[in-house]
């Protein structure tokens, strides 16, 4: 079972929700921090990291001894990662999307693959909670291949909680695609609502069921609640704007550890999600 | 000598477009005769990525020895450098004025890009 925690707007509490839900479950669960541009779940889960692997993507390497400067490689590249000028071939590795097209069309077999470092994937655990995160190399702009790599390490026997990046672009899609449920974390502010709408549109395109957590639920206005009602999005948990929670967060402490009543609430959150996924599964099997 | 100048229009009296890769037109001007060829850069102007690289390849293919423009990014500059095309950046005014300054030798060639890469 894969639950992806997303938001649209940044800073709404994706990591807080992901970590606390994992802690509330305690075992049989793994947390994948796919916010690879700025992973921070480890600051709260405090896992022991056991090993790290370097992640590379393939990029072209041109053998000028074989090259006839025919430009078939640069013509096929949609991202202009190759330029042929005079008797030179320039490769702009950071533009390459690793499709292999240039290598396939080269009539001289002059193109082979070399690797470009994207970042690292780190493996660890806190107690019985398995933990993996991706860390994008500083200066790197292309995160989806690293996110996919982190997700490829998921253990299908476990409940997988994905801490997704903010926004609605390719990295977020990479962190949501194929999930059984998307948990949207939002806040009742105009900005929170605006970005939530965009994120919900993206989720609907993916055809994945989705529900909301409304954080700092007693600030702002009621428009997020009205939107949830009109769109038939279940509000699965509300968290008040509570100074004690903010203080705990600022010290790297977790809600479920500090306030025992919240352990049950986060457990309930998971059980509601589980029920929705199960209902949906039954609805689909009935439809067949 | 042929000079490539980024332009907002199709005439020698058109305004210089400060952008290189995404300028609507690039004029390839013969500095001796003032004959020129208009290159419609619109397909490149809408390129998904690497507009500067494409434009640089085109300028080289047209036989220009110098590019005159407002801003030139690092990938375009690297491509022009590989092709042996010199760059005069930070220019404004009309295409005709740019051609005049280079004829009079009153230009300083850029040593590198004067704009950061786009993402």
Q: Residue A93 maps to which CATH number? A: 3.30.70.20
The percent of residues above 90 in pLDDT, for chain A, comes to 94
Number of alpha carbons in the 13 Å side-chain half-sphere of residue A92: 26
Whether chain B has a CB inside 8 Å of the CB on A84: the answer is yes
| Tens-place pLDDT, residues A225-243 | 999 999 999 999 999 999 9
A178 and A237 part of one domain? yes
Q: Which CATH number does B2-103 carry?
A: 3.30.420.130
Distance from CA of A83 to the nearest CA of B (A): 7
Residue A222 lies in a domain: yes
A70 and A195 part of one domain? no
The percent of residues above 90 in pLDDT, for chain B, comes to 86
Q: Which pLDDT score, from 0 to 100, does residue B117 have?
A: 79
Q: Which pLDDT score, from 0 to 100, does residue B43 have?
A: 82
Residue A197 lies in a domain: yes
A143 and A233 part of one domain? yes
Report residue A56's pLDDT band, with 50, 70 and 90 as the boundaries. Answer: very high
Residue A269 lies in a domain: yes
- The domain in which residue A176 lies consists of 2-55+121-287
Q: Residue B119 above 80 pLDDT? A: no
Whether chain B has a CB inside 8 Å of the CB on A141: the answer is yes
A173 and A194 part of one domain? yes
| CB contact (8 A) between residue B53 and residue A83 | yes
Whether chain B has a CB inside 8 Å of the CB on A80: the answer is yes
Q: Which residues of A touch B75 (CB under 8 A)?
A: 92, 95
ipTM above 0.85, yes or no: yes
Smallest CA–CA distance from B75 into chain A, residue = A92
Residue A116 lies in a domain: no
Whether chain B has a CB inside 8 Å of the CB on A85: the answer is yes
| CB contact (8 A) between residue A78 and residue B57 | no
Distance from CA of A86 to the nearest CA of B (A): 6
**Interface probe with A: pick from B22, B41, B50, most Cβ of A within 10 Å:** B50
Domain boundary residue, one of A89, A109, A129: A109
Query: What average pLDDT does range A89-109 have in this prediction?
Result: 96
A83 and A226 part of one domain? no
Whether chain B has a CB inside 8 Å of the CB on A98: the answer is no
A230 and A283 part of one domain? yes
Residue A89 lies in a domain: yes
Report residue B100's pLDDT band, with 50, 70 and 90 as the boundaries. Answer: very high
Q: What is the dihedral of CA A131, A132, A136, A141, to 10 degrees?
A: -110
Q: Which pLDDT score, from 0 to 100, does residue A285 have?
A: 59
A100 and A136 part of one domain? no
Residues 6+ apart with CB under 8 A from A212: A183, A184, A185, A186, A196, A224, A228, A233, A234, A235, A236
Whether chain B has a CB inside 8 Å of the CB on A87: the answer is no
Residues 6+ apart with CB under 8 A from A196: A7, A8, A9, A184, A186, A212, A224, A227
Residue A209 lies in a domain: yes
Domain boundary residue, one of A109, A143, A175: A109
Q: Which pLDDT score, from 0 to 100, does residue A288 have?
A: 44
A11 and A139 part of one domain? yes
| CB contact (8 A) between residue A78 and residue B48 | yes
3-state secondary structure of A83: strand
A91 and A46 part of one domain? no
Whether chain B has a CB inside 8 Å of the CB on A244: the answer is no
Q: Residue A280 above 90 pLDDT? A: no
Which has the closest alpha carbon to A216: A8, A4, A17, A5? A17
Query: What average pLDDT does range A157-184 have in this prediction?
Result: 97
Residue A115 lies in a domain: no
| CB contact (8 A) between residue A83 and residue B57 | yes
Averaged pLDDT score across all residues of chain A = 95
Distance from CA of A284 to the nearest CA of B (A): 39
A203 and A277 part of one domain? yes
For chain B, the distance separating the N- and C-terminal CA atoms, rounded to the nearest angstrom, is 34
A10 and A77 part of one domain? no
Smallest CA–CA distance from A88 into chain B, residue = B82
A·B CB contacts under 8 A:
44
Q: Which residues of A touch B56 (CB under 8 A)?
A: 83, 85
B50, B56, B83 ranked by CB distance to A95: nearest: B50
**Model-level pTM?**
0.83
Distance from CA of B105 to the nearest CA of A (A): 26
Residue A142 lies in a domain: yes
A44 and A69 part of one domain? no
| Tokens 């977020």 sit on residue | A172
| CB contact (8 A) between residue B60 and residue A92 | no
Distance from CA of B63 to the nearest CA of A (A): 11
What is the number of other CB atoms lying within 10 angstroms of the CB of residue A38? 12
A78, A80, A88 ranked by CB distance to B53: nearest: A80
Given a contact cutoff of 8 angstroms between Cβ atoms, the answer to whether A253 and A259 are in contact is no
Q: Report which of residues A284 and A220 the model is more confident about.
A: A220
Structurally, chain A folds into a number of domains equal to: 2
Q: Residue A251 above 60 pLDDT? A: yes
| CB contact (8 A) between residue B83 and residue A86 | yes
């Amino acid at each position: 079972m894969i639950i992806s925690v997303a938001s649209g707007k940044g800073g709404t509490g994706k990591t807080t929700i992901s970590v606390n839900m994992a802690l509330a479950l305690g075992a049989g669960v793994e947390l994948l921090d796919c916010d690879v541009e700025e992973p921070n779940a480890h600051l709260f889960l405090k896992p022991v990291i056991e090993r790290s692997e370097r992640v590379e993507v393939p990029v072209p390497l041109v053998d000028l001894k074989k090259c006839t400067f025919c430009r078939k490689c640069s013509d096929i590249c949609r991202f202009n990662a190759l330029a042929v000028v005079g008797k030179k071939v320039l490769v702009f590795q950071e533009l390459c999307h690793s499709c292999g097209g240039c290598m396939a069309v080269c009539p001289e077999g002059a193109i082979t693959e070399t690797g470009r470092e994207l970042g690292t994937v780190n493996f660890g655990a806190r107690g019985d909670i398995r933990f993996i995160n991706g860390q994008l190399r500083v200066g790197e702009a292309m995160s989806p291949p690293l996110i996919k790599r982190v997700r490829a390490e998921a253990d299908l026997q476990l409940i997988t909680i994905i801490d997704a990046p903010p926004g609605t672009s390719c990295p977020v899609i990479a962190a949501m695609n194929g999930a059984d449920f998307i948990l949207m974390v939002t806040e009742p502010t105009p900005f929170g609502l605006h970005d939530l709408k965009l994120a919900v549109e993206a989720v609907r395109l993916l055809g994945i069921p989705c529900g909301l957590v409304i954080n700092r639920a007693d600030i702002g206005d009621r428009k997020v609640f009205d939107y949830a009602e009109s769109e038939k999005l279940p509000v699965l948990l509300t968290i008040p704007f509570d100074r004690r929670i903010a203080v705990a967060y600022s010290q790297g402490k977790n809600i479920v550890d500090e306030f025992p009543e919240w352990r049950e609430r986060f457990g309930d959150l998971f059980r509601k999600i589980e029920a929705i996924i199960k209902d949906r599964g039954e609805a689909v099997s009935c439809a067949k | 000598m042929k000079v490539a100048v980024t332009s907002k229009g199709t005439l020698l009296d058109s305004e210089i477009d400060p952008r290189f890769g995404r300028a609507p037109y690039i004029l390839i001007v013969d500095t001796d005769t003032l004959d020129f060829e208009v290159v419609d850069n619109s397909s490149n102007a809408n390129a998904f990525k690497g507009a500067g690289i494409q434009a640089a390849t085109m300028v080289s293919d047209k036989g220009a020895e110098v590019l005159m423009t407002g801003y030139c990014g690092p990938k375009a500059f690297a491509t022009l450098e590989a092709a042996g095309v010199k760059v005069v950046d930070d220019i404004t005014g009309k295409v005709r004025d740019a051609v005049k300054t280079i004829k009079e030798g009153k230009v300083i060639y850029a040593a590198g890009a004067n704009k950061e890469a786009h993402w």
